Chain A
Amino acid sequence: MSASNMTPADAPAAGGLLAPADLTPGRRTWRAFSRNPLGMISAAIILLMVAVAIAAPLLAKFPSGYGRDILMPPSGAHPFGTDDLGRDVLAQVIWGTRISMIIAFASSLLAILIGVALGVLAAYARKLDGIVSTLVDVSLALPVLPLMILVAALIGPSVTTLVMVIALFSWPEVTRIVRSQALSVTRLPYVDAARTIGGSHFWIMTRHILPAVAPIIVVSVVLTASRAVLSEAGLSFLGLGDPESWSWGKILFNAQRSGALTVAWWCTLFPSLAILLLVVSATLVSIAYNDARNPKTRET
């Protein structure tokens, strides 16, 4: 396992023609990953969604105002139908992609930052480990959604609130994973060697431990982001979302509030599908990545 941390500086750059044993670990992982159809499809879907999120202004007008065609089923003019104010649902889903993804990635990045810092620290500094571990266990044990609801209700709805709240409740999971991965590295001889040489703690942590947990971080980002999408949808559905912006949860909130939930199936179906698609893809990508980088489960 430790071999995967040692990246030979002069590894040949050529790819597929070499036998697997001659490839860098990175390339090995990529090769295994690219052979996994589920993983590749999911990665493509995520990239497509990111593209939609970035290109949103080009794809559709920001849904606002009102139109005359209320609650129309999907048609040529409105492929996803219209909502109870006559607004185009496709535009809502497209712009919703933007906000949902921003919230998901922002909160997961924030959670990752906190989680990685604490996880690495806990693994490295024995004294801090006790406190951090207890904190993580305790946080993980608590029912998170009710607390998120309480906090969001107290602060008031906005994109920032949601990002902070979701990040605040996602970091313990990250810390737990990072810590256990980092622990497997800190016990290794080369870390002790580095310490004897006289490397500063910070240097050791960033040069040696961090790269070891890098793959875990990648997986964590994706998983935390996908869970964040669900959390955001849940909070928006309860009315705690940002009233000025569009997110998938908000489309569903509108549908529930206006009585369209069961009556206008398009208002419910499309945002739900979008959520499903993103979360499934993210999860499958991380599973595929995990399988690809782990020699035991890799097919080669």
Chain B
Amino acid sequence: MIREIRNALTRRAVLMGGVVMAMGVAGLTQVQAQEPTRLVIGTTADVVNFNPLVGNSRSDTWVTNLMYPRLMQMTAQGSKDPYVATEWGYSEDGLSAWLEIRDDLTWSDGTAFTADDIVFTITAVTTEKIGVTAGLIPAFVSATAASPTRVEFVLSRPDSTFLTNIGFWMPIVPKHAFPEVGQVATFANNTDFVSAGPFILTSVEPGQRYLLEAVDNYPLVEAGRANIDEVEFRVFPDVNAQALALRAGDLDVIANSLPAPIARTLQGQPNITVAQAPSLGWSHMLYNLQREPLSKVEVRRALAHAVDYEAIRAIAMQGLAESTNSSVISPVLSYWADPEAQEYAFDPELSKQLLTDAGYTDADGDGFFDNLSLSLLYEQSAADIANWAQIVKDSSAQAGIRIELVGLERNTYLARAREQKDFDIYAGNWAVMEEPAAYLGLAFRTGAFINYASVSDPQLEAYIDEAQSATTPEAARVPVQAAAKLIQDQVYDNVLYYQTFQFAYNSERWENFVMQPSDLLSLVNPLSLASVTPKN
């Protein structure tokens, strides 16, 4: 009996094991008909929107960037280089602008890429008020195609940031493949792709993978075409599993920036290289000026001196963050940054002094100032911010300031920050802030789009006006730096750091990636993917 049972059990076990092994072997030796070179890229989120003007998640941008070109290239210092656009400029009075584009670009269906597409795109964006781009170009009036390679714009007032804004922030969509102006924002664009980039989407498996094939005519790289045949984005919701896949060779490169522990482990692997790129944005706290007592600059200053900036960068960010010297102009933007800027000192005693001078007392002796309790709003799933929010709370406690952490899911967080302005302190990130004259307007003009703190300062507005209507960068720099100084002095924005992103790829198999700044571009920007070559 025992033997028979054992045999039954063993037989079953062997059978199962055999089946599993057979399948394993069969899976390993899979059919490889031709040998197209393929780069497999890992991403953590699905692509939800294929319309490049609407989709704003990372994955959306990485994929659509490969099909819908931007006119200019972003440099490491945040300025713009020629790319599809070859030259550009403004008229003397600043009320009109022009740009010239290459004449050798075509869409994948053979139609030429012309100035008409640009006119179409900008008209759609401004008429339908699509996305952030619309908010960046308030001075736009109209555009015309003076020739297949020249676009001329009419502006309502001088704006030195207009061309570089649309140069980077507005991907160009094909007029002949998109619906008329008025229906562009709702266009799903999820089939029949037409691409003017180095690749075109050929297969979409939602939740799993996105396959793109190289397009034959891509004159923006020397070879005239991408060096590889195919690019595949694979979705991994868990970054830990994603890193394992890279190590195992299932992935060639990971598009999203990696948390420090993972990056550190990957650095030790012989076949993996970890590359760094600075962020073009920053992480910060905003104090709601519409609320007591934050409307008082002394209180804001006290708060600014009660933050242990160094601990935030060393611990919460594990050293992968740099100070901006409390300036809204990141040192990465080397042309604009003010070398004199200095970070707020972490000085709890000074904070206490400022608060006492402002009339606060600690009558009940509990170590905290009475009637001073502030809520700090942040997005719970953002691990970095969740971590330093904790540090802010603890270091502020040293200055007797009570802070209550409010961690919310993304939509609620955005709604409360953006629409309701329902917070005392807001903690967040801007991803790319590369053009000071432009973003200062976006963030600090009265009632502006991302002016969550409700800043309204006439002097500041004057500086921004001056910067935006300047016709040369030199003329713009003075008011830009003056504005930044004012913002720092009045604590309209407390910038904590700009991040250093880490990206990993399999360097045993691949070389010639072109790293660009910010995690929006990183290793998977069009130039990089068109240039990468397999090692033999």
Interface size on B, residues (CB 8 A): 26
| Contact bitstring A39-77, B, C-beta under 8 A = 1, else 0 | 000000000000000000000000011111011000000
A260-B261 CB under 8 A given contacts A66-B316, A85-B316, A86-B315:
yes
Candidates B240, B390, B405; contact of A259 at CB < 8 Å: B240
B259, A258: Cβ atoms closer than 8 Å: yes
B91 located at the interface, meaning its Cβ lies under 8 Å from any Cβ of chain A in the complex: no
7 closest A-B pairs (Cβ-Cβ)?
A259-B259, A259-B262, A261-B240, A263-B261, A257-B383, A65-B394, A263-B265
Which chain B residues lie closer than 8 Å to A85 at the CB level?
315-316, 387, 390
- Point out which of A66, A67, A264 has the most chain B C-beta atoms below 10 A from its C-beta: A66
What chain B residues lie within 8 Å of A71 (beta carbons)? 261
A68 touches B243 (CB 8 A): no
Interface: B381 (CB within 8 A) = yes
Residue in chain A with minimal CB distance to B312: A66
B391 close to A263 (CB less than 8 A) = no
With A259-B240, A259-B243, A263-B262 known as contacts, the answer to whether A68 contacts B381 (CB < 8 A) is: no
Most chain B C-beta atoms within 10 Å of own C-beta, residue among A70, A71, A239, A263: A263
**In angstroms, how far is the closest chain B Cβ from the Cβ of A55?**
25
The residue in B244, B261, B387, B391 that gathers the most chain A C-beta atoms within 10 A of its C-beta is B261
Q: Can you name 14 A-B residue pairings with CB atoms under 8 Å?
A: A64-B390, A65-B390, A66-B311, A66-B316, A84-B261, A243-B380, A243-B405, A257-B383, A259-B239, A259-B262, A260-B261, A263-B243, A263-B261, A264-B261
Q: How far is the CB of B256 from chain A (nearest CB, A)?
A: 11
Chain A: CB-nearest residue to B311:
A66
Report whether B407 and A243 are in contact in the complex, using a CB–CB cutoff of 8 Å: yes
Contact residues, A74-98 vs B (CB, 8 A) = 84-86
Residues of B within 8 A of A70 (CB): 315, 318
> B407 to chain A: which residues have CB within 8 Å?
243
State the B residues within 8 Å of A (CB). 238-240, 243-244, 258-262, 264-265, 311, 314-316, 318, 380-381, 383, 387, 390-391, 394, 405, 407
Q: Are B240 and A262 in contact (CB under 8 A)?
A: yes
Assuming A85-B387, A263-B262, is B394 touching A257 (CB within 8 A)?
no
Whether A263 and B264, one on each chain, are in contact in the complex, defined by CB atoms closer than 8 angstroms, is: yes
- Complex: A281 Cα to B389 Cα, angstroms: 38
* Chain B contacts for A64, CB-based, 8 A: 390, 394
Q: Is A290 interfacial (CB 8 A cutoff)? A: no
CA separation between A257 and B394, bound complex, in Å? Answer: 22
B398 to chain A, nearest CB (A): 11
Given contacts A239-B380, A257-B383, A258-B383, contact A68 B265 (CB under 8 A): no
- B386 → chain A, closest Cβ, in Å? 8
A256 on the interface (CB 8 Å rule)? yes
Residues of B within 8 A of A86 (CB): 315
Q: A66-B387, A85-B316 are in contact. List 18 more A-B contacts (CB 8 A).
A: A65-B390, A65-B391, A66-B390, A70-B318, A84-B260, A84-B261, A84-B387, A85-B390, A243-B407, A256-B238, A256-B240, A257-B383, A258-B259, A258-B387, A259-B258, A260-B261, A262-B243, A262-B265
**Cα A256 to Cα B405 with chains together (Å):** 21
How far, in whole Å, are A243 and B408 apart by their CA atoms in the complex? 10
- State in angstroms the CA–CA spacing of A261 and B314 once bound together: 21
Task: Report A-chain residues with C-beta under 8 Å of the C-beta of B390.
Answer: 64-66, 85
Across the interface, which residues of B come within 8 angstroms of A68, CB to CB?
314-315
**In the complex, are the beta carbons of A66 and B261 less than 8 A apart?**
no
Q: Which residues of A sit under 8 angstroms from B318, Cβ to Cβ?
A: 70, 84
Of all chain A residues, the one with the shortest Cβ separation from B407 is: A243
> What chain A residues lie within 8 Å of B405 (beta carbons)?
243
Query: Which range contains the number of A residues in contact with the other chain?
Result: 20 to 34
A67–B387 alpha-carbon span in the complex (Å): 12
Given A68-B315, A85-B387, A239-B380: A259 touches B261 (CB 8 Å cut-off): yes
Total A-B pairs in contact (CB under 8 Å)?
Answer: 67
A264 to B394, CA, bound (A): 25
Give the CA-CA distance A260 to B259 in the complex, in Å.
8
Residue of B nearest to A68 (CB): B315
Question: Which residue on B lies nearest to A257, using beta carbons?
Answer: B383
Complex-state Cα separation, A239 to B240, whole angstroms? 16
A256: chain B residues within 8 A (beta carbon): 238, 240
Most A Cβ at <10 Å: residue of B264, B383, B394: B383
Q: Which residues of A are found within 8 Å of B259, using beta-carbon distances?
A: 84, 258-260
* Chain A residues, Cβ within 8 Å of B314: 68
Residues in chain B near residue A261, CB distance under 8 A: 238, 240
Residues of A within 8 A of B239 (CB): 259
Contacts of B381 in A (CB 8 A): 239, 257
Q: Hey, which chain A residues are within 8 Å of B387, CB to CB?
A: 66, 84-85, 258
CA distance A70 to B381 in the complex (A): 20
Question: Which residues does chain B contribute within 8 Å of A243, judged by CB atoms?
Answer: 380, 405, 407
> A84 vs B314: C-alpha distance in the bound complex, in angstroms?
11
Complex Cα gap A42–B400 (Å) = 47
Q: CB-CB < 8 A to A257: which residues of B?
A: 381, 383
Q: Which residues on B sit within 8 Å (CB–CB) of A84?
A: 259-261, 318, 383, 387
A254 to chain B, nearest CB (A): 8
CA distance A202 to B245 in the complex (A): 62
When chains A and B are docked, how far (Å) is the Cα of A258 from the Cα of B394?
Answer: 20
Within 8 A of B (CB), among A235-275: 239, 243, 254, 256-264
Interface centre among A64, A68, A84 (most CB of B within 10 A): A84
Closest beta carbon of chain A to B427's beta carbon, Å: 14
Instruction: Give the residue of B240, B315, B383 whose beta carbon is less than 8 angstroms from that of A67.
Output: B315
Cα-based distance from A243 to B383 in the complex (angstroms): 12
| A259: B residues at CB distance < 8 A | 239-240, 243, 258-262
CB distance from A98 to the nearest CB of B (A): 20
Nearest residue in A to B264 (C-beta to C-beta)? A263
A158 CB to closest chain B CB (Å) equals 12
For residue B532, give the distance in angstroms from its CB to the closest CB of chain A: 25
Chain A residues closer than 8 Å to B238, beta-carbon distance: 256, 261
CB closest chain-B residue, reference A267: B261
A 99-116 binary contact with B (CB < 8 Å = 1; else 0): 000000000000000000
Enumerate chain B residues within 8 angstroms of A239, measured Cβ to Cβ: 380-381
Neighbouring A residues of B380 by C-beta, 8 Å: 239, 243
A260 CA / B261 CA spacing, docked (Å): 6
Write out the residue numbers on chain A whose beta carbons fall within 8 Å of the beta carbon of B261: 71, 84, 258-260, 263-264
Which B residue sits closest to A153, measured CB to CB?
A: B409
> Are A66 and B258 neighbours in the complex by a CB distance under 8 Å?
no
State the CA gap A278–B243 with chains docked (Å). 31
Bound-state Cα–Cα, A243 to B406, Å? 9
Closest A residue to B387 by beta carbon equals A85
The complex places the Cα of A38 from the Cα of B407 at a distance, in Å, of: 44
CB neighbours of B258 from chain A (8 A): 259
Interchain CA distance A24-B318 in the complex, whole Å:
64
Q: How distant is A157 from chain B, measured CB to nearest CB, in Å?
A: 9
Q: A254 CA to B386 CA in the complex, in Å?
A: 10
- In Å, the complex CA distance between A263 and B318 comes to 15
Task: Report Cα–Cα, A201/B391, bound state, in Å.
Answer: 60
Complex: A257 Cα to B383 Cα, angstroms: 6
Min CB distance, A242 to chain B, in Å?
A: 11
User: What's the least CB distance linking A36 to chain B, in Å?
Assistant: 25
Minimal beta-carbon separation of A61 from chain B (angstroms)? 13
A261 and B238 CA atoms in complex are apart in Å by 10
Distance in angstroms from A124 CB to nearest chain B CB is 45
Q: Determine the chain A residues whose CB is within 8 A of the CB of B243 once the complex forms.
A: 259, 262-263
